């Protein structure tokens, strides 16, 4: 590896998809201290879904068959290879819900990308369409990214061309930009306007801002640099997980291979990478808790 490659590897390991606390323009306040508290409490509890509290409680899509989920991958620390025959992209996408459930029967179909980085990066929305073509038929797209300067849609003619290249119909591609919303914000467990940029609580976002119901199809991709434990715990505790049909969730913890490859959990700054206090068991418990509560949960990527 030459110096440039090492630097790039370091940067890609450190630059989070959101919540890059300490980088220019990003102030996470007391988030690290709060998260360390959560890290000490995580036990993966779940609340059974109380459908009676929703105005459109009929779950959609109804076909969700948990027997079709892939096995979790704790033996590889949820980070298998990203290329080659055992690649994530060969192993997991065939298990995505869209392969056996029909989203188009639901009232709204909503795709939410949290920690969106760049629209056309390797893990961005456009690339996700390539591995999950059923999302091309969705009605609404929401992208959140805390760091400025990463996320923007290409100019309309280029955008339409690229969406069509992924297989989106001409009519849907033409209206995509109007069905797509981007906000520079942190996503956390609870809303907090005092951070920079402000933090939107994920439960509040789903329930109050987007007004979602179990009758809507909701697919989430989330990469929130350790905040996933707090967010998932809150979703499970307040029952908002009933709104999420499927989640592609990146997990962070004191991961031995990532420590070696990307210097995870070796930053000199105290409080940085609070998620180093989570273990493989905690990560596994989080995915299990989601699945046990009826959320079709995959690791990513
Ligand atoms: C994380 O997992 C470890 C090992 O299973 C467990 O002892 C600890 O309580 C868990 N931490 C939290 C915060 O649940
Ligand atoms: C999904 O449902 C729609 C609306 O009922 C129907 O037109 C379409 O053929 C279905 N798609 C599949 C793949 O079954």
Q: Is the pLDDT assigned to residue 251 strictly greater than 50?
A: yes
Average model confidence (pLDDT) across the chain? 84
pLDDT in tens, 196-213: 999 999 999 999 999 999
Give the mean model confidence (pLDDT) for residues 70-81. 88
**CB of 175 closer than 6 A to ligand 2?**
no
Kindly state if the Cβ of 102 falls inside 6 Å of ligand 2.
yes
Domain parsing of the chain, residue ranges: 3-42+49-299
42 within ligand 1 shell (Cβ under 6 A) = yes
Q: Is 50 exceeded by the pLDDT of residue 15?
A: no
pTM: 0.86
Pairing status of strand 180-183 against strand 140-144 = parallel
Selection from 191, 214, 210, 182 nearest residue 114 by Cα: 182
Q: Give the model's confidence band at 80: pLDDT under 50 very low, under 70 low, under 90 confident, else very high.
A: confident
The average pLDDT across 246-251 equals: 96
Identify whether 61 is preceded by a cis peptide bond (ω within 30 of 0): yes
| Candidate of 37, 38, 42, 228 to mutate for ligand 1, largest count of ligand atoms within 8 Å of Cβ | 42
55 ligand 1 Cβ < 6 A: no
pLDDT of residue 76: 86
pLDDT at 30: 57
Alpha-carbon distance 291 to 186, whole Å?
25
In SS3 terms, 217-267 reads as EEEEEECCCCCHHHHHHHHHHHCHHHHCCEEEECCCCCCHHHHHHHCCCCC
Interval 117-139 mean pLDDT? 95
Averaged over 237-245, what is the pLDDT?
Answer: 91
Please check the confidence at residue 218 and state whether its pLDDT lies above 60.
Answer: yes
Residue 131 has pLDDT above 70, yes or no: yes
CA of 42 to the centre of ligand 1 (A): 7
pLDDT for res 270: 54
The CA 240 to ligand 2 mean position distance, Å, reads 27
């Amino acid at each position: 590896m030459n110096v440039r490659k090492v630097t790039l590897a370091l940067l890609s390991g450190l630059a989070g998809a959101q919540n890059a606390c300490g980088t220019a323009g990003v102030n996470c306040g007391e988030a690290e201290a709060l998260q360390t508290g959560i890290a000490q409490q995580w036990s993966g509890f779940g609340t059974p879904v109380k459908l009676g509290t929703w105005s459109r409680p009929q779950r959609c899509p109804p076909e969700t068959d948990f027997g079709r989920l892939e096995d979790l991958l704790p033996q590889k620390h949820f980070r298998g290879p990203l290329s080659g025959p055992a690649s994530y992209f060969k192993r997991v996408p065939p298990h995505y819900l869209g392969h056996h459930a029909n989203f188009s029967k639901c009232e709204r179909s909503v795709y939410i990308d949290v920690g969106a980085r760049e629209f056309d990066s390797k893990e961005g929305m456009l690339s996700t369409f390539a591995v999950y073509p059923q999302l091309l038929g969705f009605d609404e797209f929401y992208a959140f990214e805390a760091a400025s300067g990463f996320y923007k849609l290409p100019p309309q003619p280029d955008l339409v061309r690229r969406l069509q290249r992924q297989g989106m119909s001409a009519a849907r591609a033409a209206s995509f930009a109007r069905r797509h919303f981007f906000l520079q914000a942190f996503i956390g467990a609870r809303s907090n306007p005092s951070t920079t940029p402000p933090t939107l609580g994920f439960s509040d976002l789903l329930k109050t801002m987007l007004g979602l119901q179990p009758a809507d199809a909701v697919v989430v991709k989330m990469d929130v640099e350790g905040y996933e434990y707090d967010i998932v715990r809150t979703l499970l505790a307040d029952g908002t997980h009933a709104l999420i049909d499927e989640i592609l969730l990146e997990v962070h913890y004191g991961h031995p291979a990532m420590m070696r490859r990307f210097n995870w959990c070796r930053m000199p700054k105290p409080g940085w990478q609070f998620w180093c206090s989570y273990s493989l068991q905690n990560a596994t418990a989080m995915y299990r808790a989601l699945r046990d509560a009826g959320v079709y949960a995959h690791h990513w990527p």
